[in-house]
Amino acid sequence: MAMAALRREGRRFATPLISPNPTNALRSSLIPSQEPVSSGVRCISTQVVRNRMKSVKNIQKITKAMKMVAASKLRAIQTKTENSRGLWQPFTALLGDTPSVDVKKNVIVTISSDKGLCGGINSTSVKISRAIHKLNSGPEKENKYVVLGEKAKAQLLRDSKKDIELIMTELQKNPLNYTQVSVIADDILKNVEFDALRIVYNKFQSVVAFLPTMSTVLSPEVVEREAEAGGKLGELDSYEVEGAETKAEVLQNLAEFQFSCVMFNAVLENACSEQGARMSAMDSSSRNAGDMLDRLTLTYNRTRQASITTELIEIISGASALEG
Amino acid sequence: MLRHGSRFLSRATTMRWRRPFSTNLAADAPVDSNFLESWRKAIPNVEPPKTPSAFMATRPETPSSIPSKLTVNFVLPYSSELSGKEVDMVIIPATTGQMGVLPGHVATIAELKPGVLSVHEGNDVSKYFVSGGFAFVHANSFADIIAIEAVPLDRVDPNLVQKGLTEFTQKLSTASTDVEKAEAQIGVDVHSALNAALTG
Amino acid sequence: MASNAAAPFWRAAGMTYITYSNLCANLVRNCLKEPYKTEALNREKVHYSISKWVDGKPQKPTIRSDTPED
């Protein structure tokens, strides 16, 4: 499914300059150029094929360059991502992971990219967000979206307009850092009421594998509630709390800090996945362009040889007509 | 027992292949299986997303006797300074004062204030100035310290610290709104802590 | 040594823990010696554009830029 999408992406990219199914189209629907063709013979002029070859070659160069750029960006951001992986682990070790917690107000934070041409990752994120929305819908339950990135914005606008709370874009103008993400997290905390935050992103597993992942951050009140109910968080009570005056204070600070850290990791992982997906999309696109170029070259040569043969035939038949 | 230990192994079925970054996989059984089941019921066509516990190594159970060393994870947003290092003691700057953590310390959640964190291993002591964060001590002698900024003391410039201190003390006296007062107070606190760290 | 009322004073002024901790981190970074200081300050650039939506209608987007703290 992903490969088909990539191939479609590759072909779609090439389409503005080349019509689909070039080899067939060349035979049937093309307008012959001004090169003189002997009447009665239906063939395509070499000029058109040559133009087409030039544009496909350009596309191949462009996509190859984009792949290199994505590869270098990936290298830079991959180290940052790996370093940030330790950041959310203590929180999960302490508070556990409760994706199936039952809350009234769910806020789904969808992380996506601003730029396109990165394969299917943004669609996957949006699909999962919609599924979570559906999973958590019910009487008295409220689901809102916070969208980071243009691509998810475009997709979610289509059918979930009234559930969108905040949209943030242009995140990657400066290299990603903790301060930026924490300011974003701060904005979300200030503007949106929530019982549970679900962060949807693509975790970077390797250059060709991206796993859609959902992290859950609970608000302090829900943490209290779950702690009393027992289960994973029941142990929380056994922890003594140092600092500040009340446990609730510290829990609130903790929840905010947890959100900020988890967001940071999520944004970095998504950015890594974006670059990786772009690399593979551009790679398959340049490979497609290469294939197309081969086919066009064959057509070109056939056309050229056909026209030479035609000329020869004319000459020879003209000569033999004169003789005999 | 609610520690990750025993339940993980029974959930091996949810993980279909070994991934390079995670070691002992499988999520916490009761919670995750609820999620997976309700997902599959409601949305049968789409694969459920992974959750963070799938990517984390498990932590050992609380041992019955006090272990000899404390395992410390000291992480910053841009790097993991110490991960899984076994040490004798750490002294963390909690808001209630310097707190020493030894193996077998009671489970604690501590909010950190700007101050000096020192890690003692045998005769080596490494000191960092942390700007703030949290520290969790678990019952199994694991300590997680998460800070936003931590620098070794020799990277701090004393002149800038003095300058900052005077500047913020001045701002504190001239501050008018609540926010300005709070900011100035924070500035004074941080710089005095830096000062104390450098001189003390 | 902050007193026990340290946590509330900034919260009473309307700051969240995130703002408080970023402020502290910024102050610490500003007190570093030279090569570390520029490298640390590179870790602080902020730029993004945010737009709040009410009832399915977007409001004017605002850009937050180049201010490490809110």
Q: Tell me, what CATH number does B89's domain have?
A: 2.60.15.10
What CA–CA distance (Å, rounded) separates B17 from A211? 13
Q: Verify that B149 and B165 share a domain, yes or no.
A: no
What does the pLDDT read at residue B25?
39
Q: Is B117 part of a structural domain of the chain?
A: yes
What's the domain count of chain B? 2
Say if residue B137 is in the same domain as residue B72.
Answer: yes
Question: Are B149 and B90 part of one and the same domain?
Answer: yes
Average pLDDT, chain C: 74
**Is B73 in the same domain as B106?**
yes
pLDDT band at A267 (very low <50, low <70, confident <90, very high): very high
Q: Is residue B16 part of a domain?
A: no
All domains of chain A, ordered by start, with CATH? Answer: 58-230+244-282 (3.40.1380.10)
* Neighbour-count burial of A4, counting CB atoms closer than 10 A to its CB (0-12 exposed, 13-18 middle, 19+ buried): exposed
Two tokens at A82? 């790996």
CA A306 vs CA A213, A294, A296, A302: distances in Å? 57, 18, 15, 6
Q: Which residue of B has its CA nearest to C33?
A: B157
For range B124-147, the mean pLDDT: 87
- Say whether both B77 and B142 belong to one domain: yes
Chain C within 8 Å of A252 (Cβ-Cβ)? yes
A173 and C48: CB-CB below 8 Å? Answer: yes
Q: By the 8 A CB rule, do A144 and A106 touch?
A: yes
Contacts of A176 (CB under 8 A, 6+ apart): A77, A80, A267, A268, A271
The pLDDT value recorded for residue B27 is 40
Residue C65 vs residues A253, B27, B76, C48, C50: alpha-carbon distances, Å: 25, 40, 24, 6, 11
Q: Does residue B177 fall inside a structural domain?
A: yes
Side-chain-side CA neighbours of B43 within 13 Å: the count stands at: 18
pTM of the predicted model, to two decimals? 0.81
Give the model confidence (pLDDT) of C31-43 as tens digits: 888 888 887 777 7
* Residue B88 pLDDT grade (very low, low, confident, very high; cuts 50, 70, 90): confident
B169 within domain boundaries: yes
A206 interface with B at CB cutoff 8 Å: yes
Across A255-259, B3-7, B23-27, the highest mean pLDDT is recorded for A255-259
CB A59 within 8 A of CB A13: yes
Which pLDDT belongs to residue C64? 72
pLDDT at B110: 86
Select, from the ranges A51-65, A101-115, A137-151, the one with the highest average predicted confidence (pLDDT).
Answer: A51-65
Confidence of residue A34 (pLDDT cuts 50, 70, 90): very low
Same domain, B122 and B175: no
Picking from B49, B56, B109, the nearest residue to A200 by CB comes out as B49
Give percent of chain A above pLDDT 90: 32
B76 to chain A: closest CA residue? A87
Whether B71 and B149 share a structural domain: yes
Instruction: Say if B135 falls within a structural domain.
Output: yes
Residue C4 has what pLDDT? 40
Q: Which structural domain range is residue B164 located in?
A: 157-199
Contacts of A320 (CB under 8 A, 6+ apart): none
pLDDT at A231: 58
Task: Output the pLDDT for position B3.
Answer: 53
- Whether B79 and B150 share a structural domain: yes
Residues 11-70 of chain C with CB under 8 A from chain A are 11, 16-19, 21-22, 25-26, 42-53, 55-56, 58, 61, 63-64, 68-70
Question: Of C68, C14, C46, C70, which Cα lies nearest the Cα of A187?
Answer: C70
State whether B71 and B101 are in the same domain.
yes
- Rounded distance between C-alpha atoms, residue C26 and residue C20, angstroms: 10
Decide which of A228 and A245 is more confident. Answer: A228
Q: Do residue B161 and residue B179 come from a single domain?
A: yes
Q: What is the three-class DSSP state of B156?
A: strand
CB pairs under 8 A between B and C: 83
At C28, list the tokens.
Answer: 């610490």
pLDDT digits (tens, 9 = 90+) for B163-197: 888 988 888 888 888 888 888 888 888 888 888 88
Confidence bin at B45 (pLDDT 50/70/90) = confident
Same structural domain, B74 and B147: yes
In sequence order, the β-bridge partners of residue B73 are B83, B144
